[in-house]
Amino acid sequence: MGEKLKEARYAFSEQEVKTYFTAPKVLQGLFRIIETLFEVAIRPDTAPVWHPGVQFFRIERGTHLVGQFYLDPGARTGKRGGAWMDDVRARWLRPDTGALQTPVAHLVCNFAEGVGDKPALLTHDDVITLFHEFGHGLHHLLTQVNERDVSGISGVEWDAVELPSQFMENFCWEWDVLKHMTAHVDTGEPLPRALYDKMLAAKNFQSGLQTLRQVEFSLFDMLLHMGQAPVVNGHPDILALLKQVRDEVAVLQAPEYNRTPHTFGHIFSGGYSAGYYSYKWAEVLSADAYAAFEEAAEHTGTTLDVATGRRYREAVLEAGGSRPAMESFKAFRGREPQLDALLRHQGMTTA
């Protein structure tokens, strides 16, 4: 029912949207954002690769090498599904030689390849995924910490590691950004404003329900690992605990036969035990961080504000895991995180 309502209200063709997001144009737009905000240059580089579709790049500031990365965007037989960023090596000042080892990262996606002589076309979700993984990559590559155990993504608390990745996703919804990184595959025309407005209107459909679902999962996970499940016949009753949580926060109750905990792999085999809340908490951090760029735009006319980008880079990206993430956030924002920006970004408040 919800999907039918969404379709009726915001009907637009995903295939139509896709024709405007050609992979070369999207990558060019992404690189433009990174180069502008973080005062670097991204250039093609040379290294052995495991597939002809893999590219290798270097990031420079002035004449100095900052880091390098492999980009493997295309889907193919035998390749692991999904998208991820991983480190090849960390920044490290070698104690034996005094030489600086610069960081290297993998950035891997599974986007459909182009057909014939046409470039690959990305869905808007693909674009968001690409920006997300590059956020992780920037966290690793732009670090200025010379101790490898806390440089880049190393040593960053679990509930803050998604801040830089989710932060980058915000640019995928900016009209002034999208119009420069879209070009119709046949005509070269940028994304029409009317189509963008439909996409934006659909963005926050049922965001309140989605938020409550995340709260439900997070509360269940935390209470379960705190040993708060009711004890029945000498054993914790997991389903009874889940019902307690749902009675408190759920708008729509699941049927009696539902066995969500049996498939909740994130908290049993996915590394999120007592930490599932970090998904939502990282959204709070990223939305509040991005709000600083929105505030700057009120004066400069653009979210691609170099001064704000420099402060974010120095306080968050360059610090890596060398200090508590909250200290890095406060160094950037001058205060602790607030909920206001997240509620506004998700359409739950206008203020």
Q: What are the catalytic residues?
A: 133
Tokens of 87: 């480190």
Tokens of 63: 């004449």
| First-last CA distance in the chain | 30
Question: Nearest 5°: phi and psi at 330?
Answer: -65, -30
CA distance 17 to 274: 39
CA distance 229 to 223: 7
Question: Nearest 5°: phi and psi at 109?
Answer: -135, -175
- Nearest Cα neighbor of 177 from 37, 335, 6 is 37
Alpha-carbon distance values, 48 to 41, 149, 255, 259 (Å) = 22, 26, 54, 48
Write the CB contacts of 19 (distance below 8 Å, at least 6 apart in sequence): 121, 184, 185, 186
Buried b (16+ CB within 10 A) or exposed e, 235-252: eeebbebbbbbbeebbee
Name the amino acid, one letter, at 46: T
CA distance 338 to 212: 18
Q: What share of the chain is helix, strand, coil (3-state, %, to 5)?
A: 45, 15, 40
Write the CB contacts of 91 (distance below 8 Å, at least 6 apart in sequence): 67, 100, 101, 102, 103, 143, 144, 145, 146, 148, 151, 152
Residue 293 belongs to what H/E stretch?
helix 278-300
Name the amino acid, one letter, at 182: T
